[in-house]
Amino acid sequence: MSEIGFGTWAWGNKLLWGYSPNHDDQLLKETFNAAIESGLNFIDTADSYGTGALDGRSEKLLGKYIHTLPKGKKESITVATKLAPYPWRLGRKGYYKAFFASKERLQNKLDRVQLHWSTSRYAPWQEALLIDGLCDLYEEGLFSEIGVSNMGPLRLKWMHNRLKERGIPLKSIQIQFSLLSPQPNISKAILKVCKDLNIELLAYSPLALGILAIPPCKTSTPKTLLRRSIFNRIIPSTNDLREGLQKIAINHKASQVQVALNWCRSHGTKPIPGIRTPNHARDIGKACKWKLSNSEKLLLDNLSNNTRVRMPNNPFQSD
């Protein structure tokens, strides 16, 4: 299994990314094929990646592209989706309709199902019943792995123990993890729990919305107001960090993207950056071919610790 995967969040957000069907669907198909050819065989998606008129668009496109793969190649990849704990998804069977809809959109290629975020802060009883229902589906053999997302160390331990009581392993947790993670101390605590309990940590947003790919002394102007606001707040304080990324990239004849992803790998996580173009997919695949030295890791650790302005915290992240 590759130590780097990829996510398909952008595939389902036409309004945010300005996609036009047909033309951009072909581009995404080429991007998918480039990712698979580059050895990226873990794919993360979600039933909420595409809402309203774009209902389930990310899963639909992914299912269509996977269907065209040769059987051997199809079996070599792991497809993980996340089911959102919307307020109307209640009770032990609250996920059933969503699960079977995702499975259909993915054309039955669904290996791991994940709770998209924790409801422990506002409806812990909802989360408990939803995860029990996922365990029921797991025990029926309808998928092979269970994961969670956006949980802190305390809730992660609780979730691990709840599954353990039924003899079911908790395969993974997703958290925002990068050189600009909003709460690095909490990330470290989660990493320790994962190591102690043999849980895989999937690092989403490992490039901090692409900020870590921007060369030093440069800036970028995203299309959306929200991203422009984040970039304007963070970029000025990250020049030293991006200089460090560029220096290491030059030494390895690599990109800053590859360096940032390998920093995540050096901490024992599997980064799952979003991909939107074939070149992006191929660049990410190259990051699997090399690793940071101990001194390079230490340099980036220090630069990260000294960067005070960081990414915004996910409001759904639990304790």
Tell me the whole-structure pTM to 2 decimals.
Answer: 0.94
Task: Give the pLDDT confidence score for residue 18 in this predicted structure.
Answer: 44
Residue 304 in this model has a pLDDT that exceeds 90: yes
Task: Give the pLDDT confidence score for residue 318 in this predicted structure.
Answer: 84
Integer-rounded Cα Rg, in Å, for the chain is 19
State the catalytic residue, choosing from 49, 95, 138, 204. Answer: 49
Residue 227 or 303, more confident: 303
In a domain, 114, yes or no: yes
Q: Which residues, 6 or more positions from 137, have their beta carbon under 8 angstroms from its beta carbon?
A: 95, 96, 99, 113, 143
Task: Give the pLDDT confidence score for residue 316 in this predicted structure.
Answer: 81
Mean pLDDT of 254-273: 98
In terms of residue numbers, what domain contains 20? 6-214+255-292
Q: Are 177 and 264 in contact (CB under 8 A)?
A: yes
Task: Give the pLDDT confidence score for residue 21 in this predicted structure.
Answer: 52
In a domain, 241, yes or no: no
Task: Give the pLDDT confidence score for residue 17 in this predicted structure.
Answer: 43
41: domain CATH number? Answer: 3.20.20.100
Task: Give the pLDDT confidence score for residue 90 in this predicted structure.
Answer: 96
In a domain, 169, yes or no: yes
* Mean pLDDT over each residue of the chain, to the nearest integer: 92
In a domain, 98, yes or no: yes
In a domain, 313, yes or no: no
Residue pLDDT, tens place only, 155-194 = 999 999 999 999 999 999 999 999 999 999 999 999 999 9
293: number of CA atoms within 13 Å, CB side?
7
d(CA 105, CA 146): 19
Tell me if residue 49 is catalytic: yes
In a domain, 306, yes or no: no
As given in the structure block, the two tokens for residue 225 are: 């107001």
Residue pLDDT, tens place only, 3-52 = 899 998 878 765 444 444 555 788 899 999 999 999 999 999 999 997 65
Share above pLDDT 70 across residues of the chain, in percent, rounded to a whole number: 94
Residue 1 in this model has a pLDDT that exceeds 70: no
How many domains does one find in the chain? Answer: 1
Residue 89 in this model has a pLDDT that exceeds 80: yes
Task: Give the pLDDT confidence score for residue 26 in this predicted structure.
Answer: 87
In a domain, 55, yes or no: yes
In a domain, 285, yes or no: yes
Residue 53 in this model has a pLDDT that exceeds 80: no
d(CA 197, CA 156): 10
Q: State the first-to-last Cα distance of the chain, in angstroms, to the nearest integer.
A: 30
Complete edge-to-edge strand list for the sheet that includes strand 42-44 = 6-7, 42-44, 78-83, 112-115, 145-149, 170-176, 200-204, 270-271
Task: Give the pLDDT confidence score for residue 226 in this predicted structure.
Answer: 84
